[in-house]
Every structure is written in C-alpha cells, then in structure tokens.
Structure 1
C-alpha cells in the first residue's frame, strides 16, 4: 500500500499532491492523455482549486480545448475574452490573425502540440521573408501571447508556448519616418493653393499642417468642435472606416488615449481657411450631412457629404504629388536645373511634419506633448531630440561661417 505523502508540517497531503523544496504545493493529474497542474503556497487554497478544476473537467469545459486548432480557439477567445474590445481593436486583431496566422503552419495545429519553436519560426518567416516591420510582428505577438495566456490562466495549458518567443528573433531596423522639409512643405502647399483642380483640398491640408491632428481625428471633426470666435478646436473623438462583419463601415470612437482629449489653438491663417470653407459649404449647399453614431455636420467631407476615409486621403495626396512632380520635372528641364520633387507621403507624415516644425520653434516639451496628444512624453522627446540635434548642427555650421577660429 502506497505511503501517504506529508508536508513539512506533518499534514497528510491529498492524492496527486506533493510539496516542492520551496514549500509550494503542487497537484498533478493525467486525464485523457493531458496532464493538468495546479500550484499554490497555501494547501487549503490548492484544495479549492482542485475541486474547481475537477468539476470543470467533469463538465467537459476544458477537456476538448487543447485538442482544438489554434484558429478554432482564436474565434472562441475573441467571443469570450475580448468581447469588450473597442471595435477598431477587434478589427485589428481579426485582420492580423487572418493575414498572418490563419493560413500559417500553426493556424490548423492542435493547441496542445504547438511549441515555442513553431511560433518563433512564424515570426522569423514574417520578419525575414515577408519583410514585415518589427513593430508589426510585435503586435501580432501580443495577440498570440494573450490567446495562449488565457488558456494558461484557466489551467487548460501548463505553460504559454509564446512566452519569450518574440525575444528569440532578430530585429529589422525600423523605417525612419521623414517629415517634409520646410521647402517640400512650401512647394506642396503652394502647388495645392494655386491648382484649379486641387485647391478645394487646401483647408484640409492646412488643418493637418496647422494642428498636427491624427487622420482619424480630422475625419471625425464636426463644426461643433470648432470655435472660430475663440480660435480653438476640441479634439474629443475619432472617426474610423473599417471592416465590420464583412462590410466597410464608418464609426466613431473615443480618442486613442486620455491625452488624446485636448484643445488646440488655431493659427490665424488656418482660421481664415476654415471660415472660407464654411462659406463655400453655405454657398454651394454642400455639407457633411452624413450621420455617424450621432455625429453629423462634418468639416471635411466628399461632394456627397460623406466623411473622408484614410484610403481616399492617401489617394488624393498621391494624385497631387504625381501631378506636382510631373509639372516640376517639366519646369526644371526648361530652366536647366534639378527638379525639387516631392516624396509620396501619408497623412501621418503631415502630423509628423507639424510636430517637427513645432519642435523647431518651441522649447517647452510639455506644451508640445499636450498639443500633439502624445500619451507618453518619450514619443515627444524622440522627435524633439532629433530635431534639436539637426538644429544644433545647422547653427554650428552657420556659426562657422561667421567667426574665425584658425
């Protein structure tokens, strides 16, 4: 007859329970080919966990989960554990999964057979062969890790195979987001303002370059948010155009973070642009008449009254840059000089450009952080430090032309 195990206090331990050298209690039991493990520093608390676990297993709550594929568990995980996510975050999780996991080697693998090596292999494939940015792979890692971690917390898995998987891959150098130079910014705005075709977009680009708002914040801006008399704009919501249940849909969300709620003073030139835009809307009868989640009267809108999407703004920028570069190339050829071409850029680059100009002319980093709506001041400092470093080189070079030192 097997001798009953006892703990360091002489108490007889329950079946399948032992005490480790660090005095923790551990319960191990093999059920239907799967080993379950529970630990606790307190024996009575462990007994409660054992009763709960055995009840769950008896009712079949967890018995089949380890045998499910990762794709099957992801769907259940999103329904059970991630049902309270923001719509935009749910869309991002689903999009990343569908793009990078669903058709991968681990997508249709049984959960209990997935090892860390499989996850590392996926990350390396995405990083090296698919050439994804390191930040993109890290976002995917957060999703995969969370998907497994809830199984661990529910004691359906002994350990998380995604643990430390991201730290085992190399890092691709992040692509540096370059703001427009002062000259590029001037050339872009001058071309738009003088173009019969594109000057209708001048107020929108002036707003980007005069406030530094995120594109989703500009998309959702209503006239109610703008105080032309006081000269300020209230940023208190954002607009998104995303795939919801297979259909592209507009919806409004709260700002990215609490720091996203902010009031931005309007530059005088921008106030004039906004007054002109409102007068044109009133004159033509063209208004942002769409109603999205209770919001209407959008400041920037299509001829049909609908808000812009990120894709449509990108397309507008691409068309303007293409036409500008064609015209500048022709002009430079006639003038026998090198053309001053514009790069193709995104709305985010316009935000980055504003922040760069701001940093070039303002030393109070806290003010810059508040205007930009940066949650973490380190984001502001990264840009500020880069700008001031370039500025110091410019100042020293200029100084070298003015003083004699040798």
Structure 2
C-alpha cells in the first residue's frame, strides 16, 4: 500500500499540479490509514473493503478527531481509490458510499480594517528584509491570495504597469488586480531589493528568503507572526486571516459577490457567501448598539 500512496502523491504533484499543501494533506491522511490497516493485518490496498474504512473512521472518532478532520480523511481515501481504479489496480472504491460527517462551518476570523492597517505598517524600515516583507504583506491583503499562491508567484506573474498578478496553475488560473499601495511596495522591492537577495540571476521566484532561495510557507508564517507581535495584536494572526479580511472588507464596501468569488478563486459561490453573512451580522451588531429603539 505504501508504494501505491507514493504513486498517488506523485500523480497529484506532477500530473494534477495540486498545491503542495494539498499533496502533503493527502499524504498525511493516507499514511495514517496505511498504518491502521497494517496493524489490522492488511497491507495490500486491493484487499481493503468498506468495513475496513468504516473501522478507521470509527477509530478517528474514538480519538475525538474533529468532524472536518474525519471528513477530510474519508475524502482522501476516496480519491486514492479513484486513482487506483483508473490505474486498473482495484475494481471497487471501498470509501465510495461512506457518508461524510456533518461539519459545522465556523465563521472565518477577520481583522478590523484598523488592525490590518496596523499590521501592514510594521515593516517600515529600509533594510532589504523589511522592504520585502512590506511588499509581501501588502500583496497578500491587496489580492486575498493563499499563502501557497503567494510563495509560488514568479516574477513573470507580476505585471506592475497594468497593476495585476497572474495566480494559479495553467489548468486553473486567475488575474487579480493590485491596488496603489501594494503596487508601490512591490515596485520598491523589485527596483531596490530583489536583485540583492536572490542567490542566482536566473531565480524565477518573486519572493526569496535571506538565503536567496524561494520563500517557504513556514518562513512566511514566522514573518507575519513577528509583525503581529510587534503591532501588539492579540489575535492569532495567520496568512489566511488576511485572506478572509480582504474578502469581508470588499463586501462591506459594496463589492459584488461574483467579483469576490473570482478574485478568491472559489469554484462554488456558496463558499464566498459566508462573508456576506459576516457583514450582515456586523450591521446587526452596530444597529443593536446604536439604534435608540433596538
């Protein structure tokens, strides 16, 4: 089974061009399932049946794993067996009809505009690192892209004269405009800093670390958290909170849902609608606090 999982993750990475965090998530889930099956005496993927998968689901629930985690594991196993079916290695998918547990959608955490601005003001120095950090933070909030998309950007994906970035793979890409402040920060980074930071002239990555290599997810997480501490922001700041804040602030200021959906890269508009609910709730709270007869 281990070799089958390795083949599947190679397929996701090389053929489907899935984001690296997606590949790692599938790999982690399937390795856990593989260990469980080996302990049960089943090492051949073709010998796994529906009862085995249900036993694993029960084990996850017994460990008090969150509903979202259980659902993701079932989806990972299902996708794995779809791959094996296509390869002719199995005839049936043992996870095909297993019902996903209902997952209560939590409202995304967002920052107020004041806190976003406070965070973006923190890299104010003229050192190469702070100029780069300022450009990254401004671009993240200006476009709402995911951190994986941010660190995957190439220089060729940035068009400063026309004020947009190209984001995503060839199979699924989108064009996102950038605002004046992000443009100014990026221009400063490109003109004054990047050439000093890259280790080789042919480096394609837009953002690099202090060693001149492409920025990593972990590296950027450390950057954003350090500036959050510097700003005195108590919330647990993550790159995704800036993405949520980008969407919520756009809708608060009158952006239409379809445009926000396109910029975020959501395939289903229902995913984007949660930001409308957030802004509606904010309006209700303001009304309740300020209307004399509320």
What's the TM-score, normalizing by structure 1? 0.59
Determine the structure 2 residue equivalent to 1:302: 209
Rounded Cα–Cα distance in structure 2 between residues aligned with 1:80 and 1:196: 40
Rounded Cα–Cα distance in structure 1 between residues aligned with 2:9 and 2:129: 45
Deviations 1:135-180 (A, max 9, x none): 33323213323555656996966x654343344xx54645543022
Rounded Cα–Cα distance in structure 2 between residues aligned with 1:216 and 1:76: 22
Higher strand proportion:
1
The aligned runs of 1:355-366 (5 Å cut-off) are 355-366=247-258
The aligned runs of 1:126-275 (5 Å cut-off) are 126-129=60-63, 131=65, 133-148=66-81, 150=84, 160-167=93-100, 170-171=101-102, 173-193=104-124, 199-200=130-131, 201-235=133-167, 237=168, 254=169, 258=172, 261-275=173-187
Contact 2:174–2:263 (8 Å) recurs in 1: yes
Residue 124, structure 1, aligned to residue 58, structure 2: yes
Deviations 1:171-216 (A, max 9, x none): 4645543022223213322333379897431111111111111222
Determine the structure 1 residue equivalent to 2:220: 313
Residue 279, structure 1, aligned to residue 171, structure 2: no
Contact 2:124–2:130 (8 Å) recurs in 1: yes
Deviations 1:221-253 (A, max 9, x none): 233332322322222x4xxxxxxxxxxxxxxxx
Q: Which runs of 5+ in 2 are unaligned?
A: none
Higher helix proportion:
2
Q: Secondary structure of the equivalent of 1:213?
A: coil
Rounded Cα–Cα distance in structure 2 between residues aligned with 1:76 and 1:300: 30
Q: Secondary structure of the equivalent of 1:298?
A: coil
Q: Return the index of the structure with the highest Cα Rg.
A: 1
Determine the structure 2 residue equivalent to 1:392: 283
Rounded Cα–Cα distance in structure 2 between residues aligned with 1:155 and 1:280: 55
Rounded Cα–Cα distance in structure 1 between residues aligned with 2:212 and 2:206: 10
- Equivalent residue pairs, number: 287
Deviations 1:338-376 (A, max 9, x none): xxx432222122111111111111241111122222222
Instruction: State the shift of 1:306 in Å.
Output: 1.4
In structure 2, do the counterparts of structure 1 residues 288 and 370 end up closer, same or farther at CA, with 3 Å as the change threshold? Answer: farther
In structure 2, do the counterparts of structure 1 residues 210 and 134 end up closer, same or farther at CA, with 3 Å as the change threshold? Answer: same
Instruction: State the shift of 1:286 in Å.
Output: 1.1
Q: Secondary structure of the equivalent of 2:36?
A: coil
Contact 2:2–2:34 (8 Å) recurs in 1: no
Rounded Cα–Cα distance in structure 2 between residues aligned with 1:305 and 1:121: 48
Rounded Cα–Cα distance in structure 1 between residues aligned with 2:244 and 2:69: 20
Deviations 1:249-290 (A, max 9, x none): xxxxx16x63xx2222221112211122123227xx414455
Rounded Cα–Cα distance in structure 2 between residues aligned with 1:324 and 1:349: 16
Contact 1:123–1:166 (8 Å) recurs in 2: no
Q: Which runs of 5+ in 1 are unaligned?
A: 1-70, 238-253, 326-340
Q: CA RMSD in A?
A: 3.7
Higher relative contact order (CA 8 A, sep 6+): 2
Rounded Cα–Cα distance in structure 1 between residues aligned with 2:120 and 2:6: 50
In structure 2, do the counterparts of structure 1 residues 186 and 399 end up closer, same or farther at CA, with 3 Å as the change threshold? Answer: same
Deviations 1:96-151 (A, max 9, x none): 212x21221456426677553432232233244152x4333323213323555656
Determine the structure 2 residue equivalent to 1:381: 273
Residue 345, structure 1, aligned to residue 237, structure 2: yes
